[in-house]
Structures are given as C-alpha cells and as structure tokens.
Amino acid sequence: MVSFLKKGILVSLFMLCVFFAGPAFGAVTGITIDLQNLGLEIGQTGTLVATVIAEDADDKTFTWASDHPEIATINQNGQVTAFKTGGAVITATTNTGGFVASSYVSVSAPTIPVRGISLDKTALILGIGETYTLIPSFSPTDATGKHVLWTSSDDSVAAVDITGKVSAVSLGSARITATTVDGGYSAYCDVDVINAIVPVTGVSLDRTALSLGVGQTSNLVATVTPSDATGKHVTWTTGDGSIATVDFTGKVSAVSPGTTRITATTVDGGFSAYCDVEVINAIVAVTGISLDKTALTLGVGEISQLISTVMPDNATGKHVTWTSSNNSVATVDFTGQVVAITPGTARITATTVDGGFSAYCDIEVINAFVPVTGISLDRTAITVDVGQTSQLIATVSPANATGKHVTWTSSSNAIADVDITGQVSAVAPGIARITATTVDGGFTQYCDVEVKSPLVPVTGVSLDKTALLLITGQTSKLNATVTPSSATGKHVTWTSSNNSIAGVDITGNVTAVSPGNARITVTTVDGGFTAYCDVEVKTSVISVTGVSLDRTALSLGVGQTSNLVATVTPSNADDKHVTWQSSNNSIAEVDITGQVSAIAQGIARISVTTVDGGFTAYCDVEVKTPVVPVTGVSLDKTALSLTVGETSQLIATVTPSNASGKHVTWESSNASVAEVDITGQVSAVSPGSARITVTTVDGGLTAYCEVSVRTSVVPVTGISLDKTALFLSIGETSQLNATVIPSNATGKHITWSSSNDSVAAVNLIGQVSALSTGFARITVTTVDGGFSAYCDVEVKTAVVPVTGVSLDKTALSLNVGETSQLITTITPANATGKHVTWSSSNNSVAAVNITGQVRALSPGTARITVTTVDGGFTAYCEVEVNTAVVPVTGVTLDKTVLSLSVGQSSQLVATVTPPDATGKHVTWESSNNSIAAVDITGQVTGMSPGNARITVTTVDGGFSAYCDVVVRSGSAPVTGVTFDHPSLSILVGNKKTLGAIVWPADAANKAVTWTSSNVSVASIKKVFSSVTADSSAEIFGESPGTATITATTLDGGYTAQCEVEVVRDTGGAVEGGCNTGASPYGISGLLLLVSPFLLLLKKNK
C-alpha cells in the first residue's frame, strides 16, 4: 500500500512535471498581416487582416495599434483611416504569447483633378516685336496638377513659349491655346498683330514759368517725344482755376492775382510737364530813376556797388540795364557792380526797361597794385586710384592780389601728373607731392598724393546654358562666368523659382524633381548681376540623335558676314538648343544665331553642338584680306607760324579710312629752317620759310604745310569776351569765347575765374555752369600781360519737375522682426522737389517709416509704395515676411538597417530636428549605387547583392544619419519572427539559449539583431546569426529582476520579444526546472501545486 502510494505520488508528480514542462496543447505560435505596405490618401480608409498562427488555440485574440495615430488610426476590425501625410506603423499583438506583426501605412495628400482653365486675356492686340505673358487660372484653385501646354494656330504671326509668353512676329491674327495636361481642358486668346506702336516717352513745354497781368492770355506749346510717337494727345489742367485757366489748346488766361501751376499730361503714358504761372495786378508805369552816387573814384582792380531807385515805388516793371561808356576803363554788371580796369574815366548809365529813363555816375580810375602774400590748397593729402583724376584748387591771398598766376609741379610724374589747372592724374601706385607756386612772390603749398591700384568690380555674369530640358530625377551642371575675368570678387549665389520642379545647389548642380518649368538664377554677390537658365522637366523626352550644317566650308573677305543654318535630328526632338563656337575668334567670330563674322585673314573652324547629346557639326571658314588702295592724304594744318625753338605736331589723314596701307613719309624743303621727324613733328630751327611734305607709300599721294619761322615774340595787348552779361537758370551751362589781341600774339594762354564759384563756376575752356541763385562775375585773364575781360552772370532758380521714381529693390523677403532700408531714386537727378511719402498695403505684416525703413511684423505679404509729392509718381516693393529662421540641429532615419532583394524598394523617412526648423531640405547618397540606389525622396532600391550605406544629410547644417542596407539575391521576403520561448527564468550567474525563428522558412535573409531592455539584469553574451539560417543567442542572468529580449529582422524590421526573469538560487529549485517558458504559472506556481504531494510522500515513508 505504501509502496503503491509512493509510486502513485511519483507518477502524479511526473505527470505534473510533464504538464508544466512542454508547450500547452494548441498554443499560439505567431501572427501575420496580409499587407506589409498600405498606401492611402488623406480621408481614405483601408482594411488590414491579421491571422493568428495556432492549432486549436483557445485564445486567438489580438490587439491593433498605431505608432502615429495623428497620421493613421486602426480600429479593432482592422479598418485604417488616413488623417494627414506621413507614415505610421500598424501592429497586431496576440493577447496570448505577445507575438507581433506589423504593416507600414503611407499617407499622401489627395489628388485634386483639374476641372477647367481660363486666361487673363481672351483677346489681345500687339505691335510687331511686342510681347505679353498670358496668365492661366485653374478650377478648382487647389487642383494638384496645374501643368499647361501652350500652342499657337500660326507661329509666323504670334508665337508662344512654354511660360505663356506671346511674341508678335508679323501682321495677322492667331489663336493662342492653353491646354491642361490633367484633363485636357482648354482656354483661348485671340491675338491681332498690328504695326508696332511707338509709345510716348515724355513731354516738355516751351516755357516753365510765365508772368501775366490780370486779363492777359498766353499760349503754351507742348512737345511730345519721340517725334514719331503714335499717340500725341495731351490734356491740360490748372492747379487753381480762380487764378489762371487753360483750355484744350494750352491757352492760359489770367483771372486774378496769385500763383498756380499749369500741367500738360500725355494720354499715352501719363507723362507730365509744368509751367508755373504768376498773375499780377494792372501794370504801373515807370516815371523815372536815380542813383545813390553820381561820381566815384576807384583804384585799378577795386569794385563798388551802385544802387538804383526806380520811381514810383509801386511801378510794375523795375528792370534796369547797366552800361559803361568805356569798358576798358570801368565795367558794370547787370546788378550795378562797377569794376575799375585801367586808369581813365568812364560814365556808368542805368536805364529803365520800362520808359527808357536814365541816371548816370562818372567814374575815375587810378593806378593800384596789390602784391601776393600767400597761397593755400583745398586739400593737403589725397588718395587716388590708378587711372582716376582729382582736381586741386589753389587760393591766392589776398583775394584782390593783382597777379594770381600759379604754376603746378609733381615730384614724380611717373606716379602722379598735374596739368596747368591743378588737375592730378594717377599714373602708377606710389606717393608723389604736388606743388603749387605763385608767379608773384614764389609762395608755395603742397598736396601729398597716394596712388593705389583700383579694385576691379564685377560687370556681369553669364551661364553656359540659357535653357535646359531634364527628365525627372536627372541632374545637370550649370557653369557661371563672371566678367571681367579680372574681377576682384567672383562669388555667386544660386536660386530656383520652383524647388518642387527643379532644385539647384550652391555649385550650380540642377536636379529635376517633378514635371514643370522653373527658372534657375545665378546672382553675383558683387553688384547683384544675374543670369538665367529656364529649365523644363519632363517624365520622358525625345532625344537628339545628330546635327548638321547647310555648309561645311565657307570663304569670306575681312568684314563680311554669313549665316550658317543648323538642322537638329530628329525634327521632333524635345530639346533643339545648340551652341556655336569658333576655333579662333581673332579670325572668325560666330554669334548665338550662327552668323559668322570675318575678322582677320586666316582659317577658323565654326562648331555647332547640340545641348542634348553633345552632337557636333563643323564648317571651315577661310578669311581673306581685301586690298583697299589709298586715294588721298591731307594734313590738319596747311600753314604754320613758329618761333625759333618751338615745335608743332602735324597730323596726316589717309583716305579712305580703311585703306590697307597707311604708311607715309615726311620731308622738309629746307631743313635749316624747319625740320620734320618720322612722326610729323615740326621743329623751328632758324628764321625763314619751308614746305613740309607728307607722301603716302601706297600711291605716292602728297599734302603740304607752309611753315614760317620767326624770331620776335608778339606780346598780348588785350582781351575781349563775346558776352558781357549772361542770364542762366540753375543747372544750365553757357560757353564764353575769348579773343586775345592782337590776333598774331605769340602767347595766347588764358585763365578763367569766377567771383563766386558757389553761384557760377567756369572751367578752363570758358564753359560757365549755373549752380545756385545769385550773381557772379566771370573773368578771363591773359597769362602774357595779365589783361582781363568780364562777363556778369545772374543765376535764377529753374523748376525741374519730377518725371519718375524707382526703388533699389522691387521684392524683399524678411523674417519677422527684421528690418530693411529701401532707397529711392528720383528722376531727373536735378528735380526741384524730391519729397516722397511711404505707405504699406498691410501694416500688420510690414510697416514702413518716413525714411523708407521696412519692418517685418508678422508672416504674410505686403506692398510698400513710395509716391512723389511732385507729380504723384509711384514705385513698389513686394515684401514677403516669413517666420523667424529656426536652424536645423540634427536628423534621424526611421530605419538604421534594411534588407532588400534585388529589384525591391523601400522608403526611408528622415526626421529633421527641431520639428519647426525653417529649412528641412535634405540630400540622399549611397556609398555604392551599384548595390543600393537612393532617389531624392529617400526611396532605396536593391540593385545587386552586397552591402551599402545610405546617408541622409541636411542642407542646413550638414547633419547626417545612416542606414546600412543588405541586398540579397533571393526573392522570398521576411514576413515575421518568433522566439522558441516567449519567456525564460534564469538563475543569477547562469545562461540559457534563446532561438529566433524567421518566417517563412525559405526567407532569403534570416539575419536578426538582438537587444536587451536591461543589460544589468539579462545580457546577451553570444549571438549565432546567419543570413541563411535561424539565429540564437545565449542569455546570461546578471542580477535579479526582469528584462525584455528583442530580436529584429534586418529584412522588414519585424520583432519578437521574450520576457526574462532572473532569480537567485535558494537551493530548493532546479535551475531551469521543467519551465521552458510555455507554462503560465512559472516555477513558483509549480512548487505550490506539487508541495501537498511532497508532504504526503514524506508522511508515508
């Protein structure tokens, strides 16, 4: 009995052990989902079906979950709902065993089809040569695909390009059609081409100021420019009709005293011109005049002011003219200022214009000499770039000194040269001293000149391509050439008008992103010069297969031209652009149209090359030089009078100007009187006469100059001017002409000066410039003898109306909080009234102050307008305000390992941090494109077996993340992974082997990675992993606690998890026991169940 009982208990214990040791009958072994990838648009739904792998399991329930429910959610029926663009991982987890399967859901924006199209113009009239860009509008406005094809019913009348730009070619009519690529909807614009319209460019009036008495009238005459303008109609308006009116012919009628402005405005262009009208009361006649002095004694060079009084006080016209009975003794200007010239007597007369009444002052001039006491310069040091000039001004003291002649010298003419007027010319880098010395007294003053090498500014930029046709995903390199080649700063920036169609990097590499059109712009940092390349992106193109020329050989004479015609094959190729090149531009040049210009004798090859494919054709050009015979020769002087020792340059002109041989010889009939060198310079040797003959080598044609050489010097005895009074408006100029007496005087050099340079300045040739209102006296003085003549100048204010305004920027992009200064340019530069007002179309986005400073306030767009107070002319700057720039700080990928079959693709998703970074553009690169290729969106495609690393790099900051890719040759993808034990119990210090089973059994890549959630509790000591076989790992118990061991497949990223419990050895349990991880009770539960049987067994011993 006891023996039986013991045996029964042992049998029971054995059965219990067997019950708890192995997997329960019908246990869950895995789970699968029918779709590994699911694509949806926002708002769409889809269904996933999960299947629990088990035989007769009691619990086949599982739970659905989404790692990004804001992108896509799933309910317990497996229905997936898409909410916003992005990606989400949907998982199904068994409630028994915790097995997991997953599916990747990709959500994209919904496609909105085009339902219609319209154009901003349905009819258009253009002059030949004019252009207009048609603007399409789509229905609905948020349609996804807005690509348009443009066609013309007659390209010979009106052509249209891919942007909708219509060009008028010849007289006639044509219909422009815009057709949507999506849906094929069309809209039309009928174009009539007429003869070119000549637009008005301006208008002027015959008078800008007018004075009338009440009741008087005067006709203003408007002149419209250009003279051949198509529409010359003008409208007339008055600023105040109560003062003066104007009719449609420009007739002005004075109504009442006051001032007003009459404006003439062109109907075409709205150009304006003005006349300021002053209306005065009835005229009060002059009855007499008197002077404050009737007699006056002055020393030579002294000045005195006479003051006239016109009667009555309220006389309307008080204008007076002044004259001198002897200008050689005393002169008088139009203000009554008297200048004593030479000893003697003269009568100064003041005469009223109204009535001719006169008053007199008798002048006696006596001798007076004022010596020079010093000299000063306006600058003592200047810096000038090589090739530039700078004017030094010497002031002789006292101001009334009799002799103010100054000589100028340079310490080094090789560095800085100076002429007789004090103008300094920078010759070469270095330092030189310019010295001014008075002839009277020898007083000196200095100016140190530093000459520097000049910076070479950028003057332009060009691209090697102005048009480009690419296929989606294709790249092409643009090359920019900055001019001149010696420019100091050649930095450029690159931008695209539409990065979603074509992007460009900082080196000019263009990447085609999606079908459409975009403009790539390169801008020089120095000067802001730009060049463009229009890019068309297509999904496929008809490639060029060749090119030919209408001629392969050409013979031209120097100066001749000829057109070459290139034919690109096939005729329907998408990109027929070609480039032209000459092997020797010094012999023959070719322009972008194929026109060849013969430059010089020789042989050159003209090449035409297709942009698409680089096919080339040639034409060999021989340039011959035509012989142009000489037909005559002439000299700039036919007679010459010289003093012994003097020289003079004769200049020979050979005709025709394009004669092949222009060589000449020079000869003197009497070299003892006058010699001539091979350049035509004549030298006076001794008194007498000689004939200088120039003879052409080609043809022996001659010309002569009779030379008279004298010994005596003829002194200057006086000087006069062609005008003694001059009336100018500010900004005007007038030429004074001086005559030195006698006409055969030996030295006729003269100097010019102004009594008030701030009012009227005079240059060294006698040209007077009116600078500001007031009076000034212009004096011309002979160097020989110091004789002088005068011209009195009165300068009045001239009203110069504003004709336009422009801004230094027409578009501006700012971040919130930034400011930018806009600068106005008023035209013309000498406009009288340059006041402007500023306004913003949206002050909440961008505000502008009275100086033109723009401040960005909030994201959006606004138009800043500047308006001239005079004329109301406007200019605009479109301002775009963006949120503040947030720099990129990093980037991560959703996968760091990836397994693919040859031909299989997988999408990598890059996450740029922070989420609100302003620039999130990234670039993708593969370490080996022959194994794994990656496109610009991050889609990786297996090309051939092997390993490659995919790198994503942020454009902002250059941060990178990586994904290691294994490409296999097999085709069976992984569908899941399970552990041979869903849970383990390990004693501290012991280890157990855990196996990972990859599904299906014939999966091409069974490699997995192992991780522990807590390596201080359970660590992974050894991993046995292979691409072709299931993996296993030794799990080591480090310390009491729990940890989760996870295996992840390289192919598909599927995971399995095993819960590991690590306990201390208490001596009462067998390590490992019969617990293999299948029992839900564990070791503790087993001991609790077995303990009663053990107790009974003990009692029955």
The answer to whether residues 181 and 228 belong to one domain is no
Helical H runs in 934-1081?
none
pLDDT at 999: 82
How many domains, in total, are found in the chain? 11
Q: 510 in a domain, yes or no?
A: yes
Quick one: pLDDT band at residue 65, thresholds 50, 70, 90?
very high
Other Cβ atoms less than 10 A from the Cβ of 1084: the count is 12
Residue with tokens 């003592």: 380
Q: 395 in a domain, yes or no?
A: yes
pLDDT at 764 over 90: no
How far, in Å, are 49, 477, 511, 924, 946 from residue 958 at the CA level?
42, 21, 19, 12, 28
Higher pLDDT, 420 or 884: 420
The 8 Å CB, 24+ separation contacts for 263-266 are 263/236, 263/237, 263/238, 263/239, 264/203, 264/205, 264/220, 264/222, 264/234, 264/235, 264/236, 265/203, 265/234, 265/235, 265/236, 265/237, 266/200, 266/203, 266/224, 266/231, 266/232, 266/233, 266/234
The answer to whether residues 523 and 575 belong to one domain is no
| Tens digits of residue pLDDT in 636-659 | 999 888 888 889 999 999 999 888
Give the CATH number of the domain where residue 298 resides: 2.60.40.1080
pLDDT at 32 over 70: yes
pLDDT at 1076: 32
Q: Mean pLDDT across the stretch 668-696?
A: 92
pLDDT at 213: 77
Quick one: pLDDT band at residue 800, thresholds 50, 70, 90?
confident
Q: Mean pLDDT across the stretch 860-872?
A: 88
The answer to whether residues 980 and 1058 belong to one domain is yes
Quick one: pLDDT band at residue 210, thresholds 50, 70, 90?
confident
**How far is Cα 622 from Cα 891, in angstroms, rounded to an integer?**
62
The answer to whether residues 214 and 257 belong to one domain is yes
Determine contact, residues 170/158, Cβ cutoff 8 Å. no
What are residue 1092's phi and psi, to 5 degrees?
-65, -40
pLDDT at 713: 63
The answer to whether residues 276 and 320 belong to one domain is no
pLDDT at 307: 94
pLDDT at 970 over 70: no
| Tens digits of residue pLDDT in 126-179 | 878 888 999 999 988 888 778 788 899 999 999 998 889 999 888 888 999 999
Quick one: pLDDT band at residue 40, thresholds 50, 70, 90?
confident
Q: 8 in a domain, yes or no?
A: no
Say how many residues make up the chain.
1101
Q: Which residues pair with 471 in a beta bridge?
A: 538
Share of the chain above pLDDT 90, in %: 44
Among 636, 632, 622, smallest CA distance to 659 is for 632
pLDDT at 883: 76
Determine contact, residues 378/446, Cβ cutoff 8 Å. no
Residue with tokens 């008087």: 216
pLDDT at 616: 96
Domain boundary among 108, 132, 162: 108
| Tens digits of residue pLDDT in 500-551 | 999 999 999 999 999 999 999 999 988 999 999 999 898 887 889 999 999 9
Q: 503 in a domain, yes or no?
A: yes
Higher pLDDT, 644 or 1069: 644
Q: 959 in a domain, yes or no?
A: yes
**How far is Cα 73 from Cα 70, in angstroms, rounded to an integer?**
7
Sign of the Cα torsion 923, 928, 934, 936 reads positive
Residue 407 in tokens: 């000589």
pLDDT at 911: 95
The answer to whether residues 342 and 408 belong to one domain is no
pLDDT at 1025: 66
pLDDT at 71: 92
The answer to whether residues 166 and 228 belong to one domain is no
| Tens digits of residue pLDDT in 1024-1041 | 766 667 889 999 999 999
Q: 1083 in a domain, yes or no?
A: no
The answer to whether residues 534 and 593 belong to one domain is no
The answer to whether residues 763 and 784 belong to one domain is yes
| Torsion of Cα atoms, 425 then 426 then 427 then 428, to 10° | 170
Lowest mean pLDDT among 9-18, 227-236, 630-639, 935-944: 9-18
The answer to whether residues 231 and 247 belong to one domain is yes
CB-count burial class (<10 Å; 0-12, 13-18, 19+) for 758: exposed
What are residue 579's phi and psi, to 5 degrees?
-120, 150
pLDDT at 199: 77
Among 904, 927, 895, smallest CA distance to 1054 is for 895
E strand map for 797-873: 804-807, 811-815, 819-821, 824-827, 836-840, 846-848, 853-856, 860-868
Q: How far is CA 217 from the centre of its chain?
A: 54
The helix/strand/coil state of 487 is: coil
Domain boundary among 573, 600, 624: 624
Residue 446 in tokens: 């200095």
Q: 304 in a domain, yes or no?
A: yes
Among 589, 626, 625, smallest CA distance to 604 is for 589
Pairing mode, if any, of strands 1055-1063 and 983-987? parallel
Share of the chain above pLDDT 70, in %: 91
Quick one: pLDDT band at residue 1045, thresholds 50, 70, 90?
very high
Range of the domain at 71: 30-108
The answer to whether residues 246 and 319 belong to one domain is no
Higher pLDDT, 3 or 395: 395
Lowest mean pLDDT among 362-366, 433-437, 718-722: 362-366
pLDDT at 33: 92
Q: Which helix (H) or strand (E) is 1090 found in, with range?
A: helix 1082-1099
Domain boundary among 506, 538, 570: 538
Higher pLDDT, 283 or 704: 704
pLDDT at 403: 64
The answer to whether residues 981 and 1055 belong to one domain is yes
Mean residue pLDDT across the chain? 85
Q: 575 in a domain, yes or no?
A: yes
Determine contact, residues 652/637, Cβ cutoff 8 Å. no
pLDDT at 577 over 90: no
Residue 187 in tokens: 């809209």
Q: Mean pLDDT across the stretch 383-402?
A: 88
pLDDT at 620 over 80: yes
Pairing mode, if any, of strands 788-796 and 725-729? parallel
pLDDT at 364: 83
